[in-house]
Amino acid sequence: MKTVRRIGILTGGGDCPGLNAVIRAIVKTARNMYDLEIIGFSDGYEGLIENRYRVIRAGDASGILARGGTILGTSNRADPFRFPVLQDEEYIFLDRSTQAVRNFESLGLDVLIAIGGDGTMAASARMLKKGLPVVGVPKTIDNDLVGTEQTFGFDSAVVTATDAIDKIHTTAQSHHRVMIVEVMGRYAGWLALCSGLAGGGDIILMPEFPYDIDAVCDAVRTRNARGKTFSIVVVGEGAKAIGGEVVVKRIVANSPDAIRLGGISHQLAAQIEGLTNIECRVTILGHLVRGGSPSAFDRLLATRFGVEATHMAARGEVGRMVVLRAQKMSSVPIEEVAGKIRTVTPDHPLVKAAQALGICLGHAADVPLEKQLKEHKTS
Which active-site residues does the annotation give? 142
Contact 322, 135 (CB under 8 A): yes
333 class by beta-carbon count within 10 Å (0-12 exposed, 13-18 middle, 19+ buried): middle
Q: Residue 304: what residue type?
A: R
- Integer angstrom CA distances of residue 233 from 44, 165, 300: 36, 9, 31
C-alpha to C-alpha distance for 38 and 6, rounded to whole angstroms: 6
C-alpha to C-alpha distance for 294 and 141, rounded to whole angstroms: 11
| Residue in 365, 333, 274 with CA at minimum distance from that of residue 148 | 333
Contact 19, 116 (CB under 8 A): no
| Residue in 103, 127, 125, 144 with CA at minimum distance from that of residue 14 | 144
Helices (H) and strands (E) in the chain, counts: 12, 15
Contact 205, 185 (CB under 8 A): no
Q: Residue 318: what residue type?
A: V
Residue 354 CA to its chain's centroid (Å): 22
C-alpha to C-alpha distance for 76 and 258, rounded to whole angstroms: 10
Rg (CA), the chain: 22
Element of type H or E holding 179: strand 178-183
C-alpha to C-alpha distance for 2 and 123, rounded to whole angstroms: 24
| Residue in 76, 247, 236 with CA at minimum distance from that of residue 161 | 236
Crossing angle, helix 97-106 and helix 118-129, to 10 degrees?
Answer: 80
Contact 210, 376 (CB under 8 A): yes
